[in-house]
Amino acid sequence: MTLLAASLSFELSTWWVLGCIALGAGVAGVLYFRNSFIKSPSSRQQLVFRALAVVRFTVITLLALLLLAPLFRSEFTETRKPVVVVLQDNSQSVTYGFAEGDSAKYVDDLAKLQAKLGDKFDVKSYGFSQELLENLNPDFRGEMTDLSRALGDVYNLYGNQTVGGIILATDGIYNQGSNPFYIAQNYPSIPVYSVALGDTTPQRDLKIDRVLYNDLVYLNDRFKISVEMVSQNLTPANTKVEVLNMSNRGNPTKLEDRAVTFANTGEVVTADFVLDAKTAGLQHYRVRLVPVAGEFTEANNYRDIFVDVLDSRQRILILANSPHPDIAALREAAESNKNYEVEVKFVQNITGIAVKDYNLIILHQLPSAKFGSKSVIDEAKKNGIALWYILGSQSSLELFNGVQSAIQISGKGQSLNEAMGSLNPDFSLFTTSEQFKQQLPKLPPLFVPFGQFKTSPSSRVLMRQRIGSVSTEYPLLVFEENTGNKTAVLLGEGIWRWKLYDYRLNSSHEAFNELVGKTIQYLAVKQDKRQFRVKPLKNIFLETESVDFTGELYNASYELVNEPEVSVTITDESGKEFPFQMNKTSKAYDLRAGTFPEGNYTYAAITNYNGKQLTQDGKFTISPLELESSNTVADHKLLFQISDNSGGQLYAPTQLDKLAKDILAGNQAKPVLYSTFKTLPFINLKWIFGILITLFAVEWFVRKYMGGY
């Protein structure tokens, strides 16, 4: 940086400068000329007095000038070199193009390239796999490649600077993010010089291309795993594909195998397995294609999958007074969610029903005059099981009023009204979609018992009755939670027509299934009342992901607190423990435990609150990344397209010398001269005060020494 010019200016008029000079001259004259303090001074003394007068004049004048708030303005110039960005792919697939020992020589040649360009350019070096890293020394161990993110980050960092080019050293394989060609198109003025790494030759290899499966199944169900395999330049080949249970990592168990034959290159062979979900929890399976002689790599011969086996399927009982189209509509809507298992029974066959085995009981037109169903209702309330009443022409309003408190209806229910639904905007127990809100006014009416309706203070109304064009305050669908028991009441029959009309309007049952599904979800899910909760953000993490936990602690009033410390111990399959202390947030806890190797882990959280030890345990799994082994064929065509579109060229890794010469000889990017202006109040220059104090001290000391006053 070079100082080009400097100047001094004043906030007040420059005429005040003359006044400052006059003030300095006046003070010096009064002190040294009008009031001589030594009689008949010698010529030497007169010379000293004149010098002291000059010092006094200078100090007083400068002090006065500082009161005018002078500004010091300076102009600096700086020459900046154009930037060249070296962007090196650090993923595993790059090594497939290197012979033994070549990778070290390539890294050395790359360093020499940067040194050659350093005289003319400001060289910025980055490495990337899943993210951009500055000044990375390549080790080619990255487990995924996000080429578009790397290019995008470089453009964001240097897009507004003078860039001589981007040296992109990669094999063109990407397994994360979008196509990098479209990212590079946004900055065609920046040339991209591609160094084509990797190997474009399809190797002799067998690999598992895809594994299709459901990651959520239920205990004692059967589930299917479909494996798609492909051969590259290795035919004919006969081998086996097998499924191993890896949940007990120290002792993997082979469950099934299939013989497979690859007759043609590129042929996709499929094998299906049907397994039994015998154990609840997160199950780890490995699908393995037995290697054959001559394969390029065995890293893509297996794929790990994780299946969460749940022992918590919500069981729903539809208990009806008699057959009705509503029952089939409700059952089909509920079973559209695989978390729900639905049974239908009629009240005359009620003998032997284990009420406590269900999470929700839907009572269709019960209690009725013939079947009071009081024993079922009482047993459900005793066990905290939610009840959903659906009223109709067979319902007994008198018995209904006696078994629940959500709503009371005056009348005998012998006559029915046709009532359409009107959504209550103040309902807050759960949300409904815009599609449902728009469709509800168009749905046909339900048949509602005639009478007066009175809801309890704890009731929440989702829909009100609209009779003809008149919106009423009478409820149509109401919810209540009282002493831990949840209740819903639909005051009309004929909901099956809503299902048909939904299909007529939208060619689907989404809106109808939403209403039934959200009602069931609210009623059947029990509120978690545990005082202490710690859980990971998810059950399955990738090797590159940080394992994060959240924690909550509640006091006796069920308010969040976080005074005590919470410790978490993570244990791997070998029994090795990793202790952590959770961080306190505003009212809860969190923990960022970092990354862990592939495997199954358990955790145990402990805290002490009000003299009581509280614990929470669970488990999670670390899934391996297998992206880099799934594709080993370099895509140099993509690199050529990126370079050609931007005005760059494509080079082999052995042509780094030529690359350096071409950039130095042909690059049009020139150094840029930047001018910088700085304005500083003169009074902020502390060295000025040092000079003034020194001059004052010298002048005072000399004057006193010579007998002055």
> Does the structure show a pLDDT above 90 at 479?
yes
Give the closest residue to 144 by CA, choosing from 221, 91, 207, 216.
91
Give the closest residue to 216 by CA, choosing from 358, 337, 342.
337
Strand partners, 133: 127
In this structure, the number of other CB atoms found within 10 A of the CB of residue 4 comes to 12
CA gap 444, 505 in Å, rounded: 12
- pLDDT on residue 550: 94
> Does the structure show a pLDDT above 60 at 1?
no
Torsions phi, psi for 568 (to 5 deg): -125, 130
Q: To 5 degrees, how large is the angle CA 633–CA 634–CA 637? A: 125
Tokens of 446: 């339900």
- pLDDT on residue 288: 92
Q: Which amino acid is at 88?
A: Q
Whether the Cβ atoms of residue 103 and residue 653 lie closer than 8 Å to each other: no
In this structure, the number of other CB atoms found within 10 A of the CB of residue 268 comes to 11
Cβ burial, residue 301 (10 Å; 0-12/13-18/19+): buried
Tokens of 72: 């010091």
- pLDDT on residue 491: 94
User: Could you report the per-residue pLDDT of 260-293, keeping only the tens digit for each?
Assistant: 999 888 888 999 999 998 888 888 899 999 998 8
Angle between helices 510-524 and 496-506 (to 10 degrees): 130
> Does the structure show a pLDDT above 70 at 528?
no
Q: How many residues does the chain have?
A: 709
At which residue do the structure tokens 């409904």 appear? 432
Provide the pLDDT confidence category of residue 316 given band limits of 50, 70 and 90.
very high
What are the angstrom distances between the C-alpha of 285 and each of 96, 259, 302, 552?
28, 19, 10, 33
Q: Which amino acid is at 401?
A: N
What are the angstrom distances between the C-alpha of 540 and each of 51, 248, 547, 590, 707?
86, 16, 9, 18, 92
The pLDDT of 316-323, averaged and rounded, is: 94
SS3 101: coil
> Does the structure show a pLDDT above 60 at 410?
yes
> Does the structure show a pLDDT above 60 at 50?
yes
pTM of the model: 0.53
Q: Which residues contact 292 (CB under 8 A, 6 or more apart)?
A: 206, 234, 237, 238, 239
**664-668, long-range: CB within 8 Å, 24+ apart, which pairs?**
664/116, 664/117, 664/120, 667/82, 667/120, 667/164, 667/165
Q: Which has more confidence, 333 or 646?
A: 333
CA gap 45, 371 in Å, rounded: 131
- pLDDT on residue 38: 53
Q: Is 84 left (phi over 0), alpha (psi -120 to 50) or beta?
A: beta
Give the closest residue to 238 by CA, choosing from 222, 209, 258.
258
- pLDDT on residue 581: 96
Give the closest residue to 129 by CA, choosing from 111, 117, 121, 141.
141
- pLDDT on residue 137: 82
Q: Which residues contact 607 (CB under 8 A, 6 or more apart)?
A: 532, 553, 564, 565, 566, 567, 613, 614
CA gap 516, 495 in Å, rounded: 10
**Distance from chain centroid for Cα 615:** 28
Q: To 5 degrees, how large is the angle CA 392–CA 397–CA 403? A: 110
Provide the pLDDT confidence category of residue 10 given band limits of 50, 70 and 90.
low
The radius of gyration computed from the CA coordinates of the chain, to the nearest angstrom, equals 41
Q: Which has more confidence, 679 or 109?
A: 109
Angle between helices 325-335 and 510-524 (to 10 degrees): 80
- pLDDT on residue 59: 82
> Does the structure show a pLDDT above 80 at 76?
no
What are the angstrom distances between the C-alpha of 8 and each of 242, 678, 688, 699?
85, 12, 14, 27
CA gap 442, 493 in Å, rounded: 17
> Does the structure show a pLDDT above 80 at 599?
yes
Concatenate the DSSP letters of all residues of 299-342 into one string.
TTSEEEEEEEEES-PEEEEEEESS--HHHHHHHHHHHTSTTEEE
Q: Which amino acid is at 141?
A: R
- pLDDT on residue 102: 81
Provide the pLDDT confidence category of residue 163 given band limits of 50, 70 and 90.
confident
What are the angstrom distances between the C-alpha of 20 and each of 15, 30, 62, 688?
9, 16, 8, 17
Q: What is the largest CA-CA distance in the chain?
A: 139
Kind plus residue range of the DSSP H or E element containing 392: none
Concatenate the DSSP letters of all residues of 204-260 into one string.
SEEEEEEEEE-SEEETT-EEEEEEEEEEES--SEEEEEEEEE-SSTTS-EEEEEEEE
Whether the Cβ atoms of residue 552 and residue 533 lie closer than 8 Å to each other: yes
Q: Which residues contact 666 (CB under 8 A, 6 or more apart)?
A: none
Torsions phi, psi for 317 (to 5 deg): -110, 125
Whether the Cβ atoms of residue 355 and residue 456 lie closer than 8 Å to each other: no
Strands 163-170, 83-89: pairing is parallel
CA gap 137, 245 in Å, rounded: 39
At which residue do the structure tokens 């203070």 appear? 457
The pLDDT of 541-548, averaged and rounded, is: 87
CA gap 563, 560 in Å, rounded: 10
- pLDDT on residue 247: 75
At which residue do the structure tokens 């050659």 appear? 116
> Does the structure show a pLDDT above 60 at 145?
yes
The pLDDT of 438-445, averaged and rounded, is: 91
Tokens of 582: 């959770």
> Does the structure show a pLDDT above 80 at 640?
yes
Kind plus residue range of the DSSP H or E element containing 422: strand 416-423
Q: Which amino acid is at 220?
A: N
- pLDDT on residue 454: 93
- Is residue 236 reached through a cis peptide bond, with omega within 30 degrees of 0 on the bond before it? yes
Domains of the chain plus CATH, in order, are 2-76+680-705 (no CATH), 82-194+635-666 (3.40.50.410), 205-310 (2.60.40.10), 314-524 (3.40.50.880), 532-623 (2.60.40.1930)
CA gap 287, 306 in Å, rounded: 11
Mean pLDDT is lowest, of 23-37, 91-105, 379-393, 506-520, for: 23-37
At which residue do the structure tokens 């199954």 appear? 600
3-state helix, strand, coil in the chain (%, to 5): 30, 35, 35
Tokens of 660: 């350096």
Q: Which has more confidence, 379 or 668?
A: 379
CA gap 211, 474 in Å, rounded: 54
If you average pLDDT over each of 95-104, 109-118, 421-430, 490-499, which comes out highest?
A: 490-499
